[in-house]
Structure 1
C-alpha cells in the first residue's frame, strides 16, 4: 500500500487520476484520500503539539469535476477525527494558505483540492500551515503515516462551518490596490476609466472580475471563461500555454482593453497582455515584476529558475539588481529566495518562468492574484505619466529564436542514464571551440555559445518528475539554433536509450 501511495507524490503536492478516462486508471480514490487526510492530521498533531479535536482545518477546491466529491470525503474524514472544518468551497490555492494567517481564522492547517493546469481527469491536494506549503519530506511523512493507519476515529465529532473565504481574500486585494495607488481623485475606485479583462480558463480565477476589479471601478466587459467548468472546454488554464495567451490577446484587441489577465486553474500563476495585444509572460513577466520590485528595493537579488534568458540577466543587472539563476521547480526557487534572506542576502522576489511568482512582502507565497494586484498598482501610477506597462520592459532584449525539446529516456534506470549523458556532454563541450559551460549550474548543464557557434545558449537538464531530458535553446541570430542543434545531435545520437526524434 505504501508504494502505491508514494506514487501519488508529485514534489510537494499529491496528484493522481480522479476520474475514469481512456488513458489512465483511477488512483486517487476516496479510500486513499481518507488515509492521506489521516496522515496529514497526524503530521499536524505532531507539528502543533495538540490533539485533532483542537485542530482547525480549512478545505477548498478549484473548479475540477471531481472537486466536490473529494471535498466531501475530506470534510467527513476530518469531522470523524474531531477537527473543526472551514468549508471554503470554490477557492484558490493562495487564498487557502491565507486561512492560516487571517486573524479571523488562523487555521492550523489548510487543504486545497487542485491539480493546477493538468487535464480534467486529474486532481490532487496541497497542504499548508502558517509557515507555508508542505515540503517534499513533509509529504513523504504524511504518506508514510497514511499507510500505517495510526490515526484513530474520535468519539466526539468535530463540526463543519461554511465560509465565503474568497470574498474575504478579495477584500484584502482590494484594500492593497486602493492603498497602493492612493488616488487623491477617487480613492475607492482608483481603476475608474480602465478597461481590464480576465480570462479565467474556467478555473477558480473568475472571482477577480466581480470581487476585485469591479469594486475598484474597472470596466470588465469582454472578460471570458470566468465561470467555473472543470472540463476546461475553451483552453488549458495555463499562462505558459500558447493557446491561452493567444485567446486573451485576441480578447484584448477585440475589446480595446487596457490590459488582459490570464490565470491558471487555482490562481497561483498569472500572466498579462498589454493594450497593444503583446503577451507578457515567462521572461517578459519576470522582467516586468523585477522592474517594479527593484524600484522599491534597489539592489535586491531576484531568484529565477534555470531557463531564463541571457537578455533577462542583462536587464536585471542594468537596473542595479542581482540575478540569481537557480533550479527549475517553483518551490526550489521560492526556498532559495528564503534561504538567501536567512543568510543575509536581501531577496524580495523569487519567480519561475512558469508564472509562479513569490514576493517577500506576501509570505513568499506564489500568488497569481497578488502579483496582478502589484502590477495594477504600477499600471495606474505610470498611466498618470502617459506611459503603459510595456514601457517598463522596453529595454529587455528578446532572443530571436527560442526552442524547447523533450527527449524520452527509455532506460529503466532513467536518472542514472540521464545524469551520465549530462556528465558526458560536459566533456564533449570542451571539444567545441567557443562553447563554454556557464558558471553556477545548479541543475543539468548550461552552455554559452559565441556568435560563430550559435550566438546564444542551451541548457540540458533532467525533468523534475519524468524520465525525460529537457533541452532549452536560445539564439540571437537567424539559424543560430540550427547550428547548436546540429552539434548536439551528433553527440546525443550515440545514446540508444534516448529518443531524440523531436529534433526532426
Structure 2
C-alpha cells in the first residue's frame, strides 16, 4: 500500500510540492520522492519512444530556487537508475529545456526543468518535455501512477543508491539557446540594419527578479550591441529578496518601470523565475503586460499573418477584442484560463484549417506557432526586439506607439471566493448556470457570445465581468473591468445579493 500521496503532487501539467521545510509544514518533495519521479519518467519515456531504457538521453536544468541542487541530484539518480544517459544543463530556463530536445547538438529524448515558476521559495517542482512538446496532465498522472505502483521498489533502490556519487555530463545549453535566439533576431531584421549589432543605439535593461533570466542581458542584449547598464536583480537568488519574479505582480512591474525611467532606457524587460513569461516597459515607462502585451504581440504577428486568429484566455478585455478585430483585422478567439488550455486550443484550430500564429494568456505565457507553440518569455521579447530595431530604422523610438489606440478600462479587479465543500465542482457549476437567469432582469446586462469558461456578462460599452471556477481549487473567481468605481461597486453589490443564496460560498473577499 502506498505511503506517499503521489497524486497530490499534480499541478496542472506540472509536478509541484513543498521542497523546503518551514514552520508551515514538512517537505513533500523528499529525495526519495524525487528519485521515484525520475525513475518513473524514464520508464514512461522509454515506452513513449519505443526505446530501451539504456538508449534514452535526458537533460535536466533548474532555476534559482534554493532546493534546486538537492532535487537535481535525486532526480538524476532516479533517471539514470535504469541506464538512461543524463545531462546536467545547470541554471537554465524552462523554454531552453524544451529546446534541448530539438536544438542541433542536443536533441535529447526528453528534458526536465526543476521549477515552481513564481511560487514562494519553499516550493519547487518539475516540468517535463519530449520532442513533441510539454507533457499533458494525463501524462503526469501516468508517471505518478507508475511511481505509486513501484513505491516499495523505489524505496529499496533509493536506499541502495542514496550515497552514490553521480557524474552527469555537463552541457552549456543556455549558450546554445541564446545563439539560437540571436540568429532569429538577426534573420528578421530589415535590409540596411547592422545585423551584427542591431541594438547598438539602444539602452535596454533587464529585471530577472533573481530568477534564471539574468542570462538575457549579457548573452543576448550585450552581444547585439545594447547598453545594459541599469539592469537589476540578474543574480540567481532563490529567496527572491527584491520582489516576486512575476510579470503580473504590481511590485515587480513598478520596480522595472522605475528602473526604465531612472536610466532613461529605451526598453525594460522583466521575466518570471523560469523565463516562460515576460513583460516589457516602453521608453515612457508604460508597462506592457496583460492585455497590452497581447495587443503588442498581436500587432506584430498580424502584420505577417493578416486576418488570422489570436487565441487568448477568458479574462481579456473588450478593448483588446476591438483592437484585434476592428483595428488589426484579426480574429480574437477568447478561450479558457490556463496557458496549456490556450495553447492546445490554438493547435486544435490549426488542425481544423485555421491560421493561428499566436496563443497567449494574460499572465504573460506567449506561444508562437513558428516556435513550436512553446510558451517562451525570451522568444516573446526577441520578437519585440526585432520590431523595435526595425521601427528605430524608421525613426520611431518607442515600441508603445504600436498599441497607442488600445482602449483599456480604468478598473481591473479580481476577487476569489472559497467554496466550503469537498465536492465543490457541481455546486460551483450550479451557481454559474443559474446566474444566466438572474441577470435577465438587468436592462443592459447580457451574456457574452462565444464564451468557453464560466459566465461572462457585458454590462455596457467596456464594462464586463466573468464568474468562473478556479482551474484547480474550490474557489469561485470573479474578474471585473469597468470605467469607474461606482460601476464596480454596483456590479459587486448585485453579485453579493445573488451569491448570498449559496451559503457554502465565502463572500468576505467581495465586500
Q: State the 4+ residue runs in structure 1 displaced beyond 6 angstroms.
A: 150-155
Partner SS, residue 177 of structure 1: helix
State the alpha-carbon separation in 1 of the partners of residues 199 and 463 from structure 2. 41
Partner SS, residue 227 of structure 1: coil
Q: Are 1:271 and 2:272 counterparts?
A: no
What is the deviation of 1:341?
Answer: 0.5
Deviations 1:429-452 (A, max 9, x none): 12322211111221110011136x
Q: Contact between 1:200 and 1:225, CA under 8 Å: does it hold in 2?
A: yes
Partner SS, residue 471 of structure 1: strand
Q: Where do residues 247-396 of structure 1 align in structure 2 (5 Å cutoff)? A: 247-318=255-326, 319-387=328-396, 388-396=398-406
- When the two structures are superposed, what TM-score results if normalisation uses the length of structure 2? 0.95
State the alpha-carbon separation in 1 of the partners of residues 29 and 82 from structure 2. 21
Q: Where do residues 208-223 of structure 1 align in structure 2 (5 Å cutoff)? A: 208-223=216-231
State the alpha-carbon separation in 2 of the partners of residues 306 and 276 from structure 1. 29
Match of 1:173 in 2: 181
Partner SS, residue 187 of structure 1: coil
Q: Contact between 2:411 and 2:484, CA under 8 Å: does it hold in 1?
A: yes
Q: Are 1:448 and 2:458 counterparts?
A: yes
Q: Are 1:500 and 2:507 counterparts?
A: yes
- When the two structures are superposed, what TM-score results if normalisation uses the length of structure 1? 0.96
Match of 2:144 in 1: 143
Task: Summarize the Cα distance change of 1:91–1:450 in structure 2 as closer, same or farther, 3 Å threshold.
Answer: same
Partner SS, residue 228 of structure 1: coil
**Bigger Cα displacement from structure 2, 397-406 vs 117-126:** 397-406
State the alpha-carbon separation in 2 of the partners of residues 254 and 501 from structure 1. 40
* Number of residue equivalences: 500
Q: Contact between 1:205 and 1:265, CA under 8 Å: does it hold in 2?
A: yes
C-alpha RMSD of the superposition? 1.8
Match of 2:206 in 1: 198
Q: Are 1:438 and 2:474 counterparts?
A: no
**Bigger Cα displacement from structure 2, 493-502 vs 201-210:** 493-502
**Bigger Cα displacement from structure 2, 134-143 vs 32-41:** 32-41
Q: Contact between 1:83 and 1:158, CA under 8 Å: does it hold in 2?
A: no
Match of 1:21 in 2: 22
Match of 2:72 in 1: 71
Q: Contact between 1:262 and 1:271, CA under 8 Å: does it hold in 2?
A: yes
What is the deviation of 1:498?
Answer: 0.9
Task: Summarize the Cα distance change of 1:86–1:494 in structure 2 as closer, same or farther, 3 Å threshold.
Answer: same
**Bigger Cα displacement from structure 2, 395-404 vs 74-83:** 74-83
Q: Contact between 2:19 and 2:123, CA under 8 Å: does it hold in 1?
A: yes
State the alpha-carbon separation in 2 of the partners of residues 243 and 368 from structure 1. 19
Q: Are 1:226 and 2:227 counterparts?
A: no
Deviations 1:120-164 (A, max 9, x none): 000000100000000011001101011111889799x99621011
Partner SS, residue 283 of structure 1: helix
Q: Contact between 2:37 and 2:78, CA under 8 Å: does it hold in 1?
A: no
State the alpha-carbon separation in 2 of the partners of residues 160 and 183 from structure 1. 45
What is the deviation of 1:383?
Answer: 1.5
State the alpha-carbon separation in 2 of the partners of residues 276 and 93 from structure 1. 31
State the alpha-carbon separation in 2 of the partners of residues 415 and 312 from structure 1. 30
List alignment gaps of at least 5 residues for structure 1.
Answer: none
